[in-house]
Structure 1
Amino acid sequence: MTQKHYNVTGMSCGHCVASITEEIRGVAGVSEVVVDLAANTVTVRGTDLDDERLRTAIVEAGYGVGDPVPA
């Protein structure tokens, strides 16, 4: 299992967390999504995670995403 961490901009509430979680769960290989609203980060765990698809899912949820953060 691998994991990726992202800085996310524009999150401000529980709805933001739910939206991002739902979009990312739709990406192939994702087994767990942890959104930390206070830290503005998202951690994704799974197998064969595609960075571009994960970033696209965050953007499609309506938020900005920075480069992956080292684990």
Structure 2
Amino acid sequence: MVTLQVAGMGCNSCVNKITRAVLALDQHAKVIIERASGRVEVESDLQPESVRETIERLGFSAELIA
């Protein structure tokens, strides 16, 4: 499980953009996003840094949470 704090998710379009980007890396990933808190959880075999970099390439600020 990868958990991140993501800043800049202001709308459902942002949530959908992040979800699509993560699923492009792993179509079997489970992505849970709490827009109000900025929390993103990804259940997958992906490397945490890979998920963070993918989200940041979309223009969001992302920090891994231990």
The interval holding the TM-score normalised by the smaller chain is 0.7 to 0.9
Contact 2:22–2:29 under 8 Å retained in 1? no
1:61 aligns with 2:58: yes
Aligned residues: 66
TM-score (norm 1): 0.81
Which structure dedicates a bigger proportion of its chain to strand?
1
Amino acid at match of 2:41: T
Whole-angstrom CA distance in 2 between matches of 1:28 and 1:14: 21
Contact 1:23–1:60 under 8 Å retained in 2? no
Q: Percent identity?
A: 26
Once the 2 structures are TM-superposed, how far is the Cα of residue 29 of structure 1 from its aligned partner?
Answer: 7.4
Divergent runs of 4+, >2 A: none
Structure 2's unaligned 5+ residue stretches are none
Which structure dedicates a bigger proportion of its chain to helix?
2
TM-score (norm 2): 0.86
User: Kindly tell me: are residues 40 and 33 of structure 1, through their superposed partners in 2, closer, same or farther at Cα, counting changes over 3 Å?
Assistant: same
